[in-house]
Structure 1
Amino acid sequence: MIGATPAGGDGGGGDDSIDGQGSVDISTFQHNIFAPAPIDRDQLSIENMRSWRIDATHQHLYKTAAYWGDKVLSITDDPNDVFWLSQIYFDTGEYARAINLLQHQGLVHTSIACRFLATQCYIKMEKWSEALEILGEDNQFAAQANQDEGVIKASIVFKNLNNIQRAKECFIEALQIDIKCYEALDALVSNSMLTITEERQLIDSLEFNKQLVGQDATFVKMLYQSKLKKYDNIEAQNEIYQTLEAKFKLENADLLYSRAEIFFAQSRFEQCLNSTTQILQRDKFNLDCVPMHLVCLYELDMKNELFLLVHDLVDQHPHHAVAWFGVGVYYYLIGNMAEARRYFSKSSTVDSHYGPAWIGFGHSFAAEGEHDQAIAAYATSSKLLQGSHLGPMYIGMQHLQQNNTLLAQKYLTSCLLLCDKDPLLLNELGVMHYNLGEYDRAVEYFDKVVHMLEWSQRKNVIWETTWLNLGHAHRKLGHYQEAETYYLKVDAVAMGSGSGFGGIGGGGRGVAGGAPGGGGGGGGAGSAGTGAGGGGAGGGDGGAGGGGGYGVFGIGGGGGYGIGGGGYGGSSSDTKASALVALGFVYQIMGQLSDAIDAYHKVLAIRPSDQVASDMLQRVMEDKVRESEHEWFVSALPQELQTDESVNRLLAIREKSQSVKERLAQRLHGRRPLVTEVEEEEEQEEEEEEEEGDAEEQQQEKHVQEEEDAELGDRRAAKHPRIDHG
């Protein structure tokens, strides 16, 4: 009931109370910010109208509050009444009206409170330059305690003017002025403005014991520590969680969210989903928790649950970036990249500083091979999330896919300074060293990935591509037994249809490296280092998938500790086929031709159109036939002729004889053999040699015949002497 509260001045004291009518006295909430102006009217009626204004504001009857506030101001012309009427206009969204009232009274430049209120109005109107003009570039009240409000507003202004570095400095300053200013810490952490080292240094530099008393200092410090990135020191984070829960009896959404981040950091997505589900059961639209819940549903391939959640988000929060980001994640999960790109773009339009939307936007381009557009989107996310390694890492991955290895090296190595615990980053570094021919270092990085994923719940494709890359690296080093082991692991876990010796899987680019075919002139085979396979036979290189990783969308872990998963492109089946083709190569090198034939047959059973496997199968079959004939021929020879020199000479004679017989048989039946140009030239040369040999033989026979005739003539002359009749 408006006006039921006792008349007390705006600066009156006393506790909040509820009168017999059920009305709350909130007069203590509005203090005078100026010395009250002297008035001649009945003081009681003025205080009553102020009480009505306060009570109406408390009951959200803003039109009533504005009505009585205007009457009080007309009577008193008191600056305090100007401020509170402007505050009512701000609450009703009449920002320009509030600014006009403050400026008309000349209070913007004489009162800190009025200046901050005018700044907040400009921020709501997105007039960033005007807001900065009122605040000034520097904090004019740095020496005064608890004057962090202006610094916070300056941070928001700088951020929206894309001056991220200056915004970061202002947020840090606000937190140092008043360590209770959680908004500053949240902005720094959720927007990933600081690296993990900078976050810890900031918390250590805050003067908790000077600004807080007793256990409050310990309590607040531990709360803030629970907000930091969780790339490493998981045990320390667990201790903080347990202490807050046991010692301080705290169990609320923020603590559960911190626990969820720990599970997420360990890739324990089911436990993480359980924690986020508990939060959302208490607060269905806790927008701080929703992004991590979304990516857990993505990781666990829960399409239906994801669809229902994003449908509710769009209904309830159509003006929030996370709602449209969730729609983009759903379409990304089902493989509709065009729609995913559309909604990631919409999310970035709603909030141009929402980094995960830009990362998703880049992924939608990368999935379709649009490298330049993907790099542009990743570059934007890198500017926004300066403390995250994801932006530069994804740029480096794009350069790897374009075979710009040295440029990729620049980006990927810089990421190690920000985070050296991301399996995806380590996998890409392994790929980079592989492409540079540094196979030992590649194996070192791939082994680290396997060790880090040992207890994870990441999708099988992450394991498969990492094992496949290890197999390629060991094969290049000549460690064929180790390569065989990793290829067989991929074959054991991968399912579905496959492709050629290549492809992308799990968000990363695979290593390349063809292998010469084994046994009697098998030759090499190759395929695309990226893409879904293919390529031609003959001395080429192949590729395996990349490694999944933490950061597909840059969500979780304090901003930027993103999700893993299938990545953009490729699949478990692609990796399986790649492993089988590579396994066939290794068997050829090791001379196990029967095993190689089995491997190629498996690929063709999965995907009959795989040209690489088809070509290599034909070659290894020819090698197997030659090997069998050789074994039979040698076994049929006498013991004394079973030497290498004798066997090779006899085989050469046999092959030449067999070739001549085949040509004669084909000519006899009126058919010419289907031969290559090289074979035609060889055949023509052989025919010419045969003709020349026949001509020489005929000439020799003629010469011998002439000699025999001459000798016969001499014998006849001796037996019958010629009689000269003179």
Structure 2
Amino acid sequence: MVGRTPGKRAPSVLDVTKQLITPPLQPLPSTSPTPTHAMADECTTRLCGFNDRIASTVNLEQVDVIIRRYLSSGQYKTALFWADKRLALAGKKKRPPSLVDVAEFIKVLSAVGDYTRLIAYSQKHELALKHVFFAYFYVNALFQKKYFFEILKLKLATLKGFNDPTESAAPCMAYIHKMKSFLPNEEENRALDKISSELKLDAALLLLLGKTYLISQNRHAARLCLQSAVRRDPCAVEAMDVIHKYNLIPKRNFYELIERFPSLDCGIPNALLHFSIMDGRKDNADKADNPAADDLSGDFSVRTAKAIQYYRIGAVYQANEISTQILKDAGMFQDCILVHVATLVQLRKSDELFMLAHRLVDNQPDDEISWYTVGCYYYTIGQLGTAKNFLNKCTTMNSSFGEGWLAFGHVLSAESEHEQAMNCFLKASRILEGSFEPLMYVGLEYSYANSTKLAQDFLSDAAINAGENPLVLHEQGCIFYMKKDWKSAEEHFSRALRLAYGISGQECDLVEILWTPLSEFWEPLVNNLGHVKRKLGKYLEAVKFHQRAIMMCPKKATTIGAMAVAYASAGLVDQATVHFQEALCISPHDQVLKHGLEKLLECLETNACLSTFQVAETPQWDARKLDVTEKEFVVTAEEKKAQEKALETLRRYKIKRRPDITALRCRNAPHATRQHTVMVESSIAEVSDDADIEMTIG
């Protein structure tokens, strides 16, 4: 409108609404807690940035030097700390570390002995079948943790560059990898191959497989793996030691392998000298043109081999002296513990055995040898029930521990549980295949049951494995004695004694060398020869052998009684009576000795050839001259006249009825005990009637 000024417009609903909505205020610093996921994201971002900055500045080679330094000084926890840091910093831009970095980490885990963590890490990342490097360390960790069945389940033939001699290569991989990048690339393969070649890990892996197959009693597969390990690494002495201990290859092939060893570039041509010494093949090693033999005389392996050889030939004191000195010089030298325990058992040194068992249990409670030693201690002091418990524990810990099964069998046999003892010896024969000892002890168990045929068969098998061994020859002689084959028994006993003296020829006279030094270990053998000589009518020689046995073990009643029988058989009644009485002083409750003395006195009263009632003094002898000569077997006229006079006196005043005595026979059953010593529990043997011998007084 004209002449009219515009007025104010009335506010609408929209305008009112706009006025009510005020602009937002500026946010103030909040004191309320930030959400957790927000904080985590922020921390992760900052940490990643920090790691990137650290990774760009850290020198991994310097960290490797630190790790090696702490490993060399034995500070394993510190070394593992830095290994963890190195592995964490090896990855870049959220990518996993390379397999070369993982290999360095695995080496540290194995060096510090953290096998549980190594197994878990390898299983999570499926490392076992990626390369021989990872396969070796994974199998070694399983072996140390005694997961033997898990090792046998691995398809190691599928590994690239590894030739498993026990099976052909599988047509496909045992494990399916999730990503192609998860496998090592060419650069990583070259680096891992170089490390494996320098460490000879393929030979080490074959050694572990061979030991695992032995534990599972697969000797064929074990032999293949160990032979292949020796071919790939000729300096792997542990593989040779396992082959030698379990007789996986014939002795001839084994020593051909040793003869090729000096031509190898291992630095010490005669490093395997201890194998020759252990088996008694040290003639070539001891020659004057072999200076290395003297250079290695102080080596613990060579000294242990000498102790084992001394023990095998019966020189228990010398073996114990060497093994004791080794343990003093080298501490718990594992190769020497078994022979040292064996010598302590033979010598009945229960106090030393007790202290050794405590040290072993304190230091290595997870080792079966510790509990084996405890069982041997209780066996030595006669607590057979407790010994069985500990030997059962050691064989449960390691079912392939052949020495434990042998000791278990000895304890069961001492308790007269011969059937169970035979089962233990048969188990040991399967584990220690090629060894003569388990077969020999099985033969002895059959001899206890008077099964001479089976006993002879097992002893023949033991002789094939042992060769010319005096222990086996002695046991064979005892079987012939039980069968009353005196000539064969004499032949085997004589061969065994010549070998005990170190004489291989058959032309020497045993009576001439009888008084040369000999270990008391062979006292049963000497005593048994006396029994056989008496059975063959060689009474003078029988007395000499029994005298030598008495000098070796002076206070043994059965040996003194056996010499009394030899004197009686020779007609020397006075000496026989004196020795019967001496034996009864030592063992007054021995009914066999009492019965023999009574029969001897009855024979004096009733036989036609009687003696006067003079008692001769106890004969004296030394190692140079014997008291029995041929002249003592000659009866003079005066002695014969005195005998006839005494006979008339007895016939005149005799009250009781004369018994009809045609022969006086007592049994003698020599047998062998455990622990290599074949001890003879002899009783009084046959005394001939007056038609065969003439009983006189000295």
- TM above 0.5: yes
1:163 and 2:218 are equivalent in the alignment? yes
1:602 and 2:623 are equivalent in the alignment? no
Cα distance between partner residues in 1 of 2:334 and 2:233? 25
1:470 and 2:517 are equivalent in the alignment? no
Give aligned-pair identity as a percent. 22
Structure-to-structure mapping, 1:207-606, within 5 angstroms: 209=263, 212-213=264-265, 216=266, 219-220=268-269, 222-228=270-276, 230-239=278-287, 243-246=291-294, 251-454=298-501, 460=520, 462-496=521-555, 572-577=556-561, 579-580=562-563, 583-584=564-565, 586-606=566-586
Question: Structure 2 counterpart of 1:176, which letter?
Answer: R
Question: Structure 1 counterpart of 2:523, which letter?
Answer: E
CA contact (8 A) 1:196 1:228 kept: no
- In the TM superposition, residue 417 of structure 1 has moved relative to its aligned partner by 1.9
Instruction: Quote the residue 1:72 is aligned against.
Output: 90
1:212-257 deviation line (CA, Å, top 9, x unaligned): 34xx47x34x2224224634334334349963254x6774323333
Q: 1:622 aligns with which of 590, 602, 620?
A: 602
Give the 3 Å change call, closer, same or farther, for CA 130–478 of structure 1 in structure 2. Answer: same
Give the 3 Å change call, closer, same or farther, for CA 469–273 of structure 1 in structure 2. Answer: closer
CA contact (8 A) 2:278 2:306 kept: no
Give the 3 Å change call, closer, same or farther, for CA 620–168 of structure 1 in structure 2. Answer: same
CA contact (8 A) 2:376 2:387 kept: yes
Instruction: Quote the residue 1:670 is aligned against.
Output: none
Cα distance between partner residues in 2 of 1:323 and 1:240? 41
Cα distance between partner residues in 1 of 2:438 and 2:609? 59
Give the 3 Å change call, closer, same or farther, for CA 237–335 of structure 1 in structure 2. Answer: farther
1:118-156 deviation line (CA, Å, top 9, x unaligned): 222332343323322325479963499843122112112
Question: Structure 2 counterpart of 1:437, which letter?
Answer: K
Deviates more, 1:281-290 or 1:478-487: 478-487
Q: 1:176 aligns with which of 231, 240, 247?
A: 231
Q: Secondary structure at the match of 2:280?
A: coil
CA contact (8 A) 1:70 1:85 kept: no
Q: 1:52 aligns with which of 63, 66, 84?
A: 63
- In the TM superposition, residue 50 of structure 1 has moved relative to its aligned partner by 6.2
- In the TM superposition, residue 446 of structure 1 has moved relative to its aligned partner by 0.9
Give the 3 Å change call, closer, same or farther, for CA 336–192 of structure 1 in structure 2. Answer: farther
Question: Structure 2 counterpart of 1:224, which letter?
Answer: L
Deviates more, 1:150-159 or 1:588-597: 588-597
Question: Structure 2 counterpart of 1:55, which letter?
Answer: I
CA contact (8 A) 2:273 2:302 kept: no
1:482-519 deviation line (CA, Å, top 9, x unaligned): 333323433454433xxxxxxxxxxxxxxxxxxxxxxx
Cα distance between partner residues in 2 of 1:123 and 1:397? 37
- In the TM superposition, residue 424 of structure 1 has moved relative to its aligned partner by 1.8
Question: Structure 1 counterpart of 2:537, which letter?
Answer: G
Give the 3 Å change call, closer, same or farther, for CA 458–588 of structure 1 in structure 2. Answer: closer
Q: Secondary structure at the match of 1:411?
A: helix
- In the TM superposition, residue 442 of structure 1 has moved relative to its aligned partner by 1.0
Give the 3 Å change call, closer, same or farther, for CA 239–573 of structure 1 in structure 2. Answer: farther
- In the TM superposition, residue 172 of structure 1 has moved relative to its aligned partner by 1.8
Give the 3 Å change call, closer, same or farther, for CA 138–161 of structure 1 in structure 2. Answer: farther
Q: 1:186 aligns with which of 222, 235, 241?
A: 241
Cα distance between partner residues in 2 of 1:243 and 1:135? 48
Give the 3 Å change call, closer, same or farther, for CA 198–241 of structure 1 in structure 2. Answer: farther
Cα distance between partner residues in 1 of 2:157 and 2:213? 9
Cα distance between partner residues in 2 of 1:613 and 1:473? 19
1:201 and 2:221 are equivalent in the alignment? no
1:672-693 deviation line (CA, Å, top 9, x unaligned): x9999xxxxxxxxxxxxxxxxx
Question: Structure 1 counterpart of 2:560, which letter?
Answer: K
- In the TM superposition, residue 395 of structure 1 has moved relative to its aligned partner by 1.0
Question: Structure 1 counterpart of 2:283, which letter?
Answer: E
CA contact (8 A) 2:540 2:570 kept: no
Question: Structure 1 counterpart of 2:604, which letter?
Answer: K
CA contact (8 A) 2:280 2:309 kept: no
Give the 3 Å change call, closer, same or farther, for CA 137–479 of structure 1 in structure 2. Answer: farther
CA contact (8 A) 1:87 1:98 kept: no
Query: Which runs of 5 or more structure 1 residues have no equivalent in the other structure?
Result: 1-39, 497-571, 633-646, 664-672, 677-726
Cα distance between partner residues in 1 of 2:400 and 2:659? 66
Give the 3 Å change call, closer, same or farther, for CA 466–81 of structure 1 in structure 2. Answer: same
- In the TM superposition, residue 58 of structure 1 has moved relative to its aligned partner by 4.5
Give the 3 Å change call, closer, same or farther, for CA 332–675 of structure 1 in structure 2. Answer: closer
CA contact (8 A) 2:486 2:532 kept: yes
Cα distance between partner residues in 2 of 1:379 and 1:465? 26
Q: Secondary structure at the match of 2:419?
A: helix
Cα distance between partner residues in 1 of 2:610 and 2:432? 66
Q: 1:134 aligns with which of 150, 154, 175?
A: 154
Question: Structure 1 counterpart of 2:475, which letter?
Answer: E
Cα distance between partner residues in 2 of 1:114 and 1:458? 56
Q: Secondary structure at the match of 1:609?
A: coil
CA contact (8 A) 2:529 2:542 kept: yes
CA contact (8 A) 1:195 1:418 kept: no
Residues matched between the structures, number: 519
1:531-550 deviation line (CA, Å, top 9, x unaligned): xxxxxxxxxxxxxxxxxxxx
Instruction: Quote the residue 1:544 is aligned against.
Output: none
Cα distance between partner residues in 1 of 2:373 and 2:518? 20
Query: Alignment RMSD, CA only?
Result: 4.0
- In the TM superposition, residue 407 of structure 1 has moved relative to its aligned partner by 0.6
Normalised by the length of structure 1, the TM-score is 0.63
1:344-390 deviation line (CA, Å, top 9, x unaligned): 33332333322222211111112222211211111222222223211
1:84 and 2:95 are equivalent in the alignment? no
Larger RCO, structure (CA 8 Å, separation 6 or more): 1
CA contact (8 A) 1:344 1:361 kept: yes
CA contact (8 A) 1:189 1:228 kept: no
1:285-340 deviation line (CA, Å, top 9, x unaligned): 22222323333344444443333333222222222222222223333333333333
Instruction: Quote the residue 1:706 is aligned against.
Output: none
Instruction: Quote the residue 1:613 is aligned against.
Output: 593
Give the 3 Å change call, closer, same or farther, for CA 142–162 of structure 1 in structure 2. Answer: same
1:112 and 2:132 are equivalent in the alignment? yes
Cα distance between partner residues in 2 of 1:458 and 1:347? 35
Normalised by the length of structure 2, the TM-score is 0.65
CA contact (8 A) 2:307 2:323 kept: yes
Query: Which runs of 5 or more structure 2 residues have no equivalent in the other structure?
Result: 1-50, 71-75, 165-192, 503-515, 613-643, 661-698
Q: Secondary structure at the match of 1:226?
A: helix
Q: Secondary structure at the match of 1:52?
A: helix
Give the 3 Å change call, closer, same or farther, for CA 610–119 of structure 1 in structure 2. Answer: closer
Give the 3 Å change call, closer, same or farther, for CA 53–393 of structure 1 in structure 2. Answer: same
